[in-house]
Amino acid sequence: MNALLDTIRDASGDTDAWPADVFEARLREQGAAYHIHHPFNVMLNTGKATPEQIRGWVANRYAYQLAIPIKDAAVLSNCPDREVRREWIQRILDHDGHGDDPGGIEAWLRLAEATGLTREEVTDQRHVVPGVRFAVDAYIDFARRRPWQESVCASLTELFAPAIHRQRLANWPEHYPWIAGDGLAYFRNRVSQARRDVDHSLAITLAHFRTREAQQRALDILRFKLDVLWAMNDAMANRYGVTT
Per-position DSSP letters for 76-124, written without gaps between them? HHH---HHHHHHHHHHHHHHH-BTTB--HHHHHHHHHHHTT--HHHHHT
In percent, the amount of the chain with pLDDT more than 70 equals 94
pLDDT confidence tier of residue 161, bands split at 50, 70 and 90: confident
The mean pLDDT value for 146-155 works out to 97
Buried b (16+ CB within 10 A) or exposed e, 92-107: bebbbbeeeeebbbbb
Residue range 135-152: average pLDDT? 98
CA 125 to chain centre: 19
Q: Into how many domains does the chain fold?
A: 1
Check residue 11 and give its pLDDT. 44
Helix 2-10 with 20-29: angle, nearest 10 deg: 110
Under a CB-based contact definition with an 8 Å cutoff, are residues 48 and 240 in contact?
no
Expressed as residue numbers, the domain containing 103 is 2-240
Confidence at 215, pLDDT banded by 50, 70, 90: very high
Task: Tell me the chain's radius of gyration from C-alpha atoms.
Answer: 18
For the chain, the average pLDDT equals 92
Biggest CA pair distance of the chain: 57
Any residues with CB less than 8 A from the CB of 110 and at least 6 apart, and which?
A: 182, 183, 185, 186
159, pLDDT greater than 50: yes
CA dist., res. 89 & res. 64, Å (int): 18
pLDDT(112) > 80: yes
pTM: 0.91
Cβ neighbors of 86 (< 8 A, separation 6 or more) are none
Write down the pLDDT at residue 96. Answer: 94
Name the nearest CA neighbour of 183 among 121, 242, 233, 119.
Answer: 119
pLDDT at 14: 62
pLDDT of 188 above 90: no
Question: Each residue of 86-108: pLDDT tens digit?
Answer: 999 999 999 999 998 898 999 99
Check whether 142 has a pLDDT greater than 50: yes
| CA–CA–CA angle 19, 23, 25 (5° rounding) | 120
For residue 133, give the CATH number of its domain. Answer: 1.20.910.10
Alpha helices in the chain (DSSP H): 2-10, 20-29, 39-45, 51-78, 82-96, 104-114, 119-123, 130-145, 148-154, 161-175, 185-208, 212-240
